[in-house]
Amino acid sequence: MFSEGRELSAIEAAAFLHVSQGHATQLMRSGTLAARQLPSGHWLTSEAALGACDAIMRRGHGRTLAPESAWGVLWELSGLHPHWLSSSTLSRLRAQLVEWRPEDIVRAVSSRTQETRYRSAAPGASSGLTLTGRRVASVLKVGLRSWTDVVAGYVPQGVTPEQHARRTGMTLDYEGMHTLYEWTLPVPYNAPRMPVAVVAADLARSHVTTERAKGVHALSRLRYEWARSR
């Protein structure tokens, strides 16, 4: 596994994020901050990964939601009904959505799934995935094209990203352009791509500043449309 450019230590990451070194290491270990661990046990990350993490941690407010609730918020914003939620939970989430900024939504839903990045993939590596993020970015209508040569999707239920990566020749790299997401959606979902709010939320975690901004912009529009339809 490799990363081009100068890598940053946990101490440097902590200074960038204005957190303790221990907290920075925890963020790396959990995957919230994309990083790699050396045989010595030390962690390294990059400025691009720190920018993506910072966008979630400091620009959004409030706690992250449990996966079931986070998926429910994104279903609501996509114009779908999150039928797995109780009426009381759904009512509470709707009240929060009224108050949240787009950045707050990004933060709230950020812990619902683990993303793993790769630098290479064999042809056909997207087969069987539910596509999201930059792979289908054009559905958001925010001036981005879909990267049809990029792998970005959720692995099927019961399959880990590592298993899919081994089968399709993907090489692990925390700054890679290809991304696999674990399946944490609490219900089956049979579609070639995720709903639009999921695509936007995943794009809002991109290591590319422009893509992050477009993802947040799409969430802002979806929230406005959701509020108008109530």
C-alpha 51/C-alpha 53 separation (Å) is 5
Q: Are strands 130-131 and 8-9 parallel, antiparallel or unpaired?
A: unpaired
Stretch (H or E) spanning 121: none
Task: Characterise 96 by phi-psi region: left (phi > 0), alpha (psi -120 to 50), beta (else).
Answer: alpha
Length of the chain: 230
The 3-state DSSP class for residue 140 equals helix
Contact 51, 200 (CB under 8 A): no
Return the pLDDT at 4.
43
pTM: 0.88
Closest CA to 96 of 227, 214, 217, 210: 227
The phi and psi torsions of 223 (rounded to 5 degrees) equal: -65, -40
The 3-state DSSP class for residue 175 equals coil
Return the pLDDT at 138.
98
**Position of tokens 């696999």?**
180
Return the pLDDT at 59.
67
Contact 172, 116 (CB under 8 A): yes
Which residues of the chain fall short of a pLDDT of 70? 1-5, 58-61
HSE value, Cβ hemisphere, 13 Å, CA-based, for 99? 8
The 3-state DSSP class for residue 76 equals helix
The domains of the chain are located at 8-57, 65-230
Residue type, 95: A
pLDDT tens for each residue of 19-44:
899 988 988 888 788 888 999 999 99
Contact 89, 72 (CB under 8 A): yes
Contact 97, 223 (CB under 8 A): yes
C-alpha dihedral sign at 184, 189, 191, 196 = negative
Neighbours of 119 (CB within 10 A): 17
Return the pLDDT at 126.
96
The phi and psi torsions of 117 (rounded to 5 degrees) equal: -105, 150
**Position of tokens 């790699």?**
36
Return the pLDDT at 33.
85
Q: How far apart are the first and last CA of the chain?
A: 48
